[in-house]
Structure 1
Amino acid sequence: MEKKIKLLGILILLIFASCKKSSKSPEIAIQNPEIEIQVLSQNLSFPWELLWGPDNFLWMTERGGRISRINPSNGVISPLLTISEVKSQGEGGLLGMVLHPNFSVNPHVFVVYNYDKSGVYIEKIVRYTYNGSSLINPIIILDNIPAANYHNGSRLLISPDFKLFITTGDAVNANSAQSINSLSGKVLRVNLDGTIPADNPIAGNALWSLGHRNAQGLVFANGILYSSEHGPEKDDEINIIMKNRNYGWPNVNGFCNESAEQAFCNSNNVVEPLKNWTPTIAVSGMDYYENGPLAQFKNSLILATLKDQTLYQLRLNTAGDKIEETKELFRSTYGRLRDVCVGADGRIYVLTSNGSNDKILVIKAK
Structure 2
Amino acid sequence: MRRIFTLIFSLFILSACEKGGGDESEKKLPDAELKTEVLTQSLVFPWEMVYGSDNYIWFTERAGKISRLNPKNGVIALVHTITEVNSTGEGGLLGMALHPDFNNNPYVYVIYDYKSGTNYRGKVVRFTFNNGVLLEPLVLLDQIPASSNHDGSRLLITPDMKLLVTTGDANTAANAQDTSSLSGKILRINLDGSIPEDNPFPGNRIWTYGHRNPQGLVLANNKVYSSEHGPNNDDEVNLIEKGKNYGWPNIEGFCNTTTEKAFCALNEVTEPMMAWTPTIAPSGLIYYDSDYLPQWKNSLLMVTLKGTKLVQLKLDETGDKVTGSQDFFLNQFGRLRAVCQSPDGKVYLATSNGVDDKIIEVSTK
Q: TM-score range by the shorter chain?
A: over 0.9
Deviation digits for residues 171-229 of structure 1, max 9, x if unmatched?
A: 00000100000000000000001000000011110000000000000000011000000
Q: How does 1:164-183 map to 2 (within 5 A)?
A: 164-183=163-182
Instruction: Give me the identity figure in percent.
Output: 54
State the alpha-carbon separation in 2 of the partners of residues 29 and 202 from structure 1.
41
Q: How does 1:235-254 map to 2 (within 5 A)?
A: 235-254=234-253
In structure 2, the partner of 1:118 is 117
Report SS of the residue matched to 1:262.
Answer: helix
State the alpha-carbon separation in 2 of the partners of residues 66 and 107 from structure 1.
18
User: Is contact 1:254–1:276 with CA below 8 Å preserved after alignment?
Assistant: yes
User: Is contact 1:99–1:109 with CA below 8 Å preserved after alignment?
Assistant: yes
**Structure 2: where are the runs of 5+ without partners?**
1-20
User: Is contact 2:29–2:324 with CA below 8 Å preserved after alignment?
Assistant: no
Deviation digits for residues 65-105 of structure 1, max 9, x if unmatched?
A: 00001112122111101111001110000000000001111
Aligned-partner residue type, residue 82 of structure 1: T
In structure 2, the partner of 1:318 is 317
In structure 1, the partner of 2:83 is 84
User: Is contact 1:304–1:338 with CA below 8 Å preserved after alignment?
Assistant: yes
Report the Cα offset of residue 249 of structure 1: 0.1
State the alpha-carbon separation in 2 of the partners of residues 66 and 179 from structure 1.
33
State the alpha-carbon separation in 1 of the partners of residues 45 and 117 from structure 2.
26
Report the Cα offset of residue 31 of structure 1: 5.2
User: Is contact 1:183–1:207 with CA below 8 Å preserved after alignment?
Assistant: yes
State the alpha-carbon separation in 1 of the partners of residues 44 and 23 from structure 2.
40
In structure 1, the partner of 2:12 is none
In structure 2, the partner of 1:32 is 32
The alignment's TM-score, normalised by the length of structure 1, stands at 0.92
Report SS of the residue matched to 2:266.
Answer: helix
Aligned-partner residue type, residue 24 of structure 2: K
State the alpha-carbon separation in 2 of the partners of residues 210 and 350 from structure 1.
29
**Structure 1: where are the runs of 5+ without partners?**
1-20
Report the Cα offset of residue 365 of structure 1: 1.1
User: Is contact 1:30–1:328 with CA below 8 Å preserved after alignment?
Assistant: no
User: Is contact 1:222–1:319 with CA below 8 Å preserved after alignment?
Assistant: no
Describe the shift of the 1:27–1:170 C-alpha distance in structure 2 as closer, same or farther (beyond 3 A): farther
Report SS of the residue matched to 1:160.
Answer: coil
Describe the shift of the 1:257–1:36 C-alpha distance in structure 2 as closer, same or farther (beyond 3 A): same
State the alpha-carbon separation in 2 of the partners of residues 355 and 270 from structure 1.
37
Describe the shift of the 1:121–1:27 C-alpha distance in structure 2 as closer, same or farther (beyond 3 A): farther
In structure 1, the partner of 2:16 is none
State the alpha-carbon separation in 2 of the partners of residues 345 and 40 from structure 1.
17
The alignment's TM-score, normalised by the length of structure 2, stands at 0.92
Higher helix share: 1
Report SS of the residue matched to 1:154.
Answer: coil
State the alpha-carbon separation in 2 of the partners of residues 31 and 203 from structure 1.
48
1:297 aligned to 2:296?
Answer: yes
Aligned-partner residue type, residue 98 of structure 2: L
| Regions of 4+ moved over 2 Å | 25-33
In structure 2, the partner of 1:98 is 97
The alignment of Structure 1 onto Structure 2 pairs a total of residues equal to 345
In structure 1, the partner of 2:210 is 211
Deviation digits for residues 128-168 of structure 1, max 9, x if unmatched?
A: 00003100000000000000011000000000010000000
Report the Cα offset of residue 118 of structure 1: 2.3
Report the Cα offset of residue 25 of structure 1: 6.3
Aligned-partner residue type, residue 230 of structure 1: H
State the alpha-carbon separation in 2 of the partners of residues 170 and 28 from structure 1.
34
In structure 2, the partner of 1:358 is 357
In structure 2, the partner of 1:15 is none
State the alpha-carbon separation in 1 of the partners of residues 315 and 55 from structure 2.
27
In structure 2, the partner of 1:56 is 55
State the alpha-carbon separation in 2 of the partners of residues 298 and 121 from structure 1.
40
Report the Cα offset of residue 292 of structure 1: 2.9
Describe the shift of the 1:27–1:148 C-alpha distance in structure 2 as closer, same or farther (beyond 3 A): farther
Report the Cα offset of residue 51 of structure 1: 1.1
Aligned-partner residue type, residue 200 of structure 1: N
Q: How big is the alpha-carbon RMSD for the aligned residues of Structure 1 and Structure 2?
A: 1.4
Q: How does 1:180-195 map to 2 (within 5 A)?
A: 180-195=179-194
Describe the shift of the 1:47–1:25 C-alpha distance in structure 2 as closer, same or farther (beyond 3 A): farther
In structure 1, the partner of 2:273 is 274
Describe the shift of the 1:321–1:26 C-alpha distance in structure 2 as closer, same or farther (beyond 3 A): closer
